[in-house]
Structure 1
């Protein structure tokens, strides 16, 4: 059976091994207030609610600027994709940056890291929409305590293919893995995606009206999911109709054809072989056993994974308002900017 399940999405994505968690955020933020926060009252908004759908934008855990102030992680990799809007990154390894408008961040929490991810509203004269996917890709047990690491995939450098069809074009951005001969950049060193036999793939697919896209048969044991996140009309997936804002769970060993209707569609593809190891997860930590999980919490209480080098832990930490997209590593010793 090609279609295993179809789910309507309201924030969290129903994915599984090798993925731990997936989240889709779409916030229609208003104009900024000149201080990177919203030019709007926060009265009546419940802070700390990641998926509160009673409003069309959320503050998450930020008090003045939307986002997630400093918090720990251990034992897995985070893939953050931002098609619209911006994020400001800070971490306990002395790295910081700003990315967005199509950029992707790969970050391995490894043995433990603190990081903050805030969503600065940089425009004071127009709305600041944010569209963000955050995917937690598990690490195998042998790699869970490897050194934390992260790198940027700037949108100008993400391998992209434009495929002209009779009725329009399909654009494929390969974030991990290979699609239609488009090979993604190298994954992080200890990632499950490092071994091609694990068939880890993440891609963004932009289909114009009346075009088709085909996922090939790869492996009967592979888990495969596709999120239809942007569009106004349902699309055809094999013999089924898929509505916007829905996710389909697909057979990895079957060829699957997607067909757009009278309008275009944007898709997120997530796939990979399962790691097939026990999972003990609670909050920000993902380990193999309950004992390892307890050890993670104990080490964080004692060491704070090296501590927070950026001052007030409770502040909504962001870069300068007019900062460009950039990544700074090891307290500024290494700078990475798009096109350089």
Structure 2
């Protein structure tokens, strides 16, 4: 049992997906060592022995997920929450029922408010035909409050070069780098989330930070701005991590107090942590697959609405579209606005 003074309140092993606390719904860490790609941007390797369409086994260190040619997630609906997709390595090709499209990676983040309903696909094109195509990403589901569950869908691109990175050195000169995807730290604020996000409200204290610590580094995580915020540290890379006086020997999710500073100390290898923090919404959560509402009746309505409208239909020639091999990182929004960044 933890005492009232312990910084670490609870630990749980990391599963698939990772358990989260209100206002978050879940977080999944995809890490796949894909081989070179073929002419169709799928893996240049045999797919024998895989449960194609439902391949989550991790054979040979990678998964096709629901993809049949290209790994990924062909068209599927969402209603009532948001997805925050952080691509650390590799690329994602996005297409949706509004006609929007994107290719993003290399530290980019897509923040999608599903709201009243959207259908989208998320495919992982393997562009390099000679070398391996490693892919690593987080997808976080952030809930919406009842009054915003049916807002018009909207996505924002947070391109890597717009996302703040704060570097701190300890007394021995060892570094800790914090990537601020949501919230603020050390006077730097993340790009704005979509307008109806729970994170867009000034009093919800949402923070999504990726923390990378050099071997042996120490860093003090400052207390949260809101006393009711719930804070979880997901220790997913490294041999060990110390939070205050609490030593973590395995990869776990650690619920920590948010009303006090917390001293972190990395073990003898590079250490990585994902921080999720926010003030809880505090409303009932009823989930059925890709729909997250407040009541069973609302779930039934979501299913009926999807069957009736397909949330706008699917304007693409296949369920799993990928963009051209030579296409760079870009976003084409539903209103026709196009953003283009580096390669």
TM-score, length of structure 2 as denominator length: 0.93
Match of residue 100 from structure 2: 95
Deviates more, 1:254-263 or 1:153-162: 254-263
String of CA shifts for 1:62-105, please: whole Å, max 9, x gaps: 00110000010001011000111110000111110100111100
Paired with 2:59 and 2:248, the residues of 1 have a C-alpha distance of 25
CA contact (8 A) 1:81 1:103 kept: yes
- What is the aligned length? 336
Match of residue 338 from structure 1: 341
**Residue 266 of structure 1: how far off its partner (Å):** 1.6
State whether structure 2 residue 91 is matched by structure 1 residue 86. Answer: yes
**Residue 288 of structure 1: how far off its partner (Å):** 0.8
**Residue 221 of structure 1: how far off its partner (Å):** 2.5
Paired with 1:228 and 1:125, the residues of 2 have a C-alpha distance of 33
Q: How does 1:175-324 map to 2 (within 5 A)?
A: 175-218=181-224, 219-231=226-238, 233-243=239-249, 245-313=251-319, 316-324=320-328
Structure 2: gaps (5+ residues): 1-5
Match of residue 147 from structure 1: 152
TM-score, length of structure 1 as denominator length: 0.94
Paired with 1:221 and 1:302, the residues of 2 have a C-alpha distance of 41
**Structure 2 counterpart SS, 1:312:** coil
Alpha-carbon distance change, 216 to 50 in structure 1, aligned in 2, over 3 angstroms: farther
CA contact (8 A) 1:220 1:251 kept: no
Match of residue 23 from structure 2: 18
CA contact (8 A) 1:228 1:243 kept: no
String of CA shifts for 1:262-283, please: whole Å, max 9, x gaps: 2221211101011001111100
String of CA shifts for 1:184-235, please: whole Å, max 9, x gaps: 111110011112311110011111122222222224432111112233x212
Paired with 1:225 and 1:132, the residues of 2 have a C-alpha distance of 18
CA contact (8 A) 1:50 1:58 kept: yes
Paired with 2:243 and 2:54, the residues of 1 have a C-alpha distance of 33
**Residue 48 of structure 1: how far off its partner (Å):** 4.1
RMSD: 1.7
Paired with 2:47 and 2:76, the residues of 1 have a C-alpha distance of 23
